[in-house]
């Protein structure tokens, strides 16, 4: 039976039971319209109207999404405007306009156009995609595993990607194989973790709730194992150490449009799937047992979220390496400033993560120009103090779950 069929089928035996509230007032017996009853009926009508069908949080979510989007647009403009070639803001905007379908006919030096369109914009766009995936994946994992320390690499994705990339580098294969190998390593590691963890944690015949704890522990074990392999390989081929190390530190310096187009489908599918689960992530805030009693098939939701997050995060890792802190700091900063509901948290984290990574990249490529600081260093250097500031500010006493 598919879900939609279930949806259409009334609960067996439920016939005759009021499955929907009657449209007449069900709380006042017929012919007993007392003064209080009339007052309460009036009050109820009034309440019914003021507590409108719109969720009270919906306007708030909208405002937060708009605010985050404004920040993202500014971050993108900053990212495109700043670089070693000293273009003024008007020059950058003119160069940007040349590729728009309705652009004004102005003459822009081809070099400016190339700098903006072939060097800066792909890098900024890749930052947007990678940042949104890391932050969105982190937020989703924090919800699904009900663990504030969860980050997108929790189930072994980082270790698997690192091993995949190291194998390509040390085997002397074509470097173009690094992204697919990292992607395959990340997906494979998470799949291994999930198979081991979900099997151990499975309940009895009646389909009881299985624990997330065993999946998390399996993730720790798989990550340790794969990291051991990777370290071993790396030590056996010390001549490639610097390259492997640079890859693991991560960065956006090699970004091209083909990278952007390569990961865009994964990111789009992953983001859409994660956003579609945001209401269910809110239900999970009351714990797995109560979510189950409310009608949520917890193992299925968990699998769907993990698959979605893994696809997007693995694609991001494949083109940018292992960029830390974004997946844990951005969702918590959003949670502490805007609130813990996943309906708001998930979209705002994605947009905020994108803006954060773009700005971190601007810092990474300007503070020591023409040299670049690894972006992971910047995300930690900006992110950790900012996070601590938010943590110690007004909402710090509330829970982080």
Q: Is 74 in the site for another protein (CB under 8 A)?
A: no
Q: Which is nearer to another protein, 184 or 298 (CB)?
A: 298
Could you say which residues in the range 275-334 bind another protein, by CB under 8 A?
276-277, 279-280, 282-283, 285-287, 289-297
CB 363 within 8 A of CB 355: no
Spatial neighbors of 142 by CB under 8 A, at least 6 apart, are 148, 150, 331
Q: Is 209 in the site for another protein (CB under 8 A)?
A: yes
Could you say which residues in the range 184-203 bind another protein, by CB under 8 A?
203
Q: Is 84 in the site for another protein (CB under 8 A)?
A: no
Please give the Cα distance from 394 to 401 (Å, whole number).
17
Q: What is the dihedral of CA 339, 264, 306, 334, to 10 degrees?
A: -10
Residue 393 CB, nearest approach to another protein (Å): 15
* Residue carrying the six token digits 């009034």: 46
Please give the Cα distance from 81 to 119 (Å, whole number).
12
Q: Which is nearer to another protein, 53 or 101 (CB)?
A: 53
Residue 5 CB, nearest approach to another protein (Å): 10
Residue 316 CB, nearest approach to another protein (Å): 23
Could you say which residues in the range 339-368 bind another protein, by CB under 8 A?
339-341
Q: Contacts with another protein: how many residues (CB under 8 A)?
A: 60
Residue 11 CB, nearest approach to another protein (Å): 4
Q: Is 12 in the site for another protein (CB under 8 A)?
A: yes
CB neighbour burial string for 134-146, b if at least 16 within 10 angstroms, e if fewer? bbbbbbbbbbbbb
* Residue from 14, 90, 172, 370 in contact with another protein (CB under 8 A): 14
* Residue from 30, 32, 35, 54 in contact with another protein (CB under 8 A): 54
Please give the Cα distance from 142 to 154 (Å, whole number).
10
Identify the CA nearest to 281 among candidates 396, 386, 183, 150: 150
* Residue from 30, 31, 34, 56 in contact with another protein (CB under 8 A): 56
Q: Which is nearer to another protein, 180 or 290 (CB)?
A: 290
Q: Is 43 in the site for another protein (CB under 8 A)?
A: yes
Binding segment for another protein (CB under 8 A), chosen from 8-16, 103-111, 315-323, 366-374, is 8-16
Please give the Cα distance from 184 to 310 (Å, whole number).
11
Residue 391, burial from CB neighbour count under 10 angstroms (0-12, 13-18, 19+): middle
Q: Which is nearer to another protein, 4 or 174 (CB)?
A: 4
Q: Which is nearer to another protein, 46 or 245 (CB)?
A: 46
* Residue from 148, 207, 265, 385 in contact with another protein (CB under 8 A): 207
Q: Is 33 in the site for another protein (CB under 8 A)?
A: no
* Residue from 89, 208, 241, 388 in contact with another protein (CB under 8 A): 208
Please give the Cα distance from 140 to 310 (Å, whole number).
11
Give the CA distances from residue 174 to residues 142, 181, 269, 372, in Å, rounded to whole numbers and listed in that order. Answer: 37, 11, 29, 25
CB 177 within 8 A of CB 211: no
Binding segment for another protein (CB under 8 A), chosen from 1-9, 67-75, 123-131, 386-394, is 1-9
Dihedral of CA 49/50/56/58: which sign? positive
Q: Is 205 in the site for another protein (CB under 8 A)?
A: yes
Please give the Cα distance from 173 to 153 (Å, whole number).
26
Residue 388 CB, nearest approach to another protein (Å): 21
CB 285 within 8 A of CB 401: yes
SS3 292: helix
Spatial neighbors of 326 by CB under 8 A, at least 6 apart, are 131, 134, 135, 138, 353, 356, 357, 360, 379, 383
Q: What is the dihedral of CA 375, 129, 146, 285, to 10 degrees?
A: 140
Residue 315 CB, nearest approach to another protein (Å): 22
- CA 279 from chain centre, in angstroms, equals 15
Residue 151 CB, nearest approach to another protein (Å): 21
The binding site for another protein (CB under 8 A) comprises 1, 3-4, 6-7, 9, 11-14, 17-21, 26-27, 40, 43-44, 47-48, 51-57, 203-209, 276-277, 279-280, 282-283, 285-287, 289-297, 339-341, 398-399, 401
């Amino acid at each position: 039976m598919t879900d939609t069929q279930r949806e259409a089928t009334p609960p067996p035996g439920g016939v005759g039971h009021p499955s929907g509230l009657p449209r007449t007032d069900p709380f006042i017996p017929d012919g007993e319209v007392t003064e209080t009853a009339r007052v309460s009926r009036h009050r109820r009508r009034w309440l019914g109207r003021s507590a409108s069908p719109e969720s009270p949080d919906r306007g708030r979510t909208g405002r937060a999404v708009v605010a985050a989007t404004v920040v993202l647009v500014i971050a993108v403009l900053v990212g495109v405007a700043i670089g070693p070639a000293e273009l003024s803001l008007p020059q950058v905007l003119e160069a940007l306009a040349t590729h728009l379908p309705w652009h004004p006919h102005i003459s822009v030096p081809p070099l400016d156009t190339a700098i903006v369109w072939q060097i800066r914009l792909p890098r900024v766009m890749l930052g947007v995609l990678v940042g949104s995936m890391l932050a969105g994946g982190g937020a989703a994992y924090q919800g699904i595993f009900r663990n504030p320390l969860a980050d997108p690499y929790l189930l072994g994705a980082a270790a698997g990607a690192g091993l995949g990339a190291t194998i390509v580098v040390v085997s002397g294969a074509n470097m173009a194989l690094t992204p697919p190998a990292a992607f395959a390593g990340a997906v494979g590691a998470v799949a291994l973790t999930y198979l081991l963890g979900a099997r151990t944690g499975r309940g009895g015949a009646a389909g009881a709730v299985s624990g997330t704890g065993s999946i998390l522990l399996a993730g720790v074990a798989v990550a340790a194992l794969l990291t051991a392999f990777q370290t071993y390989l790396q030590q056996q081929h010390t001549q490639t150490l610097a390259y492997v190390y640079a890859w693991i530190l991560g960065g956006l310096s090699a970004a091209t449009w083909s990278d952007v187009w390569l990961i865009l489908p994964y990111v789009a599918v992953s983001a859409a799937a994660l956003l579609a689960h945001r209401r269910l992530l809110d239900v999970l805030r009351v714990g797995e047992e109560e979510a189950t009693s409310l009608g949520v098939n917890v193992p299925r939701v968990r699998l769907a979220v993990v698959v979605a997050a893994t696809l997007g995060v693995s694609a991001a890792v494949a083109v940018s390496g292992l960029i830390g802190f974004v997946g844990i700091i951005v969702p918590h900063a959003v949670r502490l400033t805007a609130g813990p509901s996943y309906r708001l948290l998930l979209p705002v984290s994605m947009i905020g993560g994108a803006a954060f990574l773009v700005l971190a990249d601007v810092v990474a490529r300007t503070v020591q120009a023409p040299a670049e600081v690894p972006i992971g260093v910047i995300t930690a250097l900006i992110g950790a103090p900012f996070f601590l500031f938010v943590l110690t500010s007004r909402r710090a006493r509330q829970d982080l779950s």
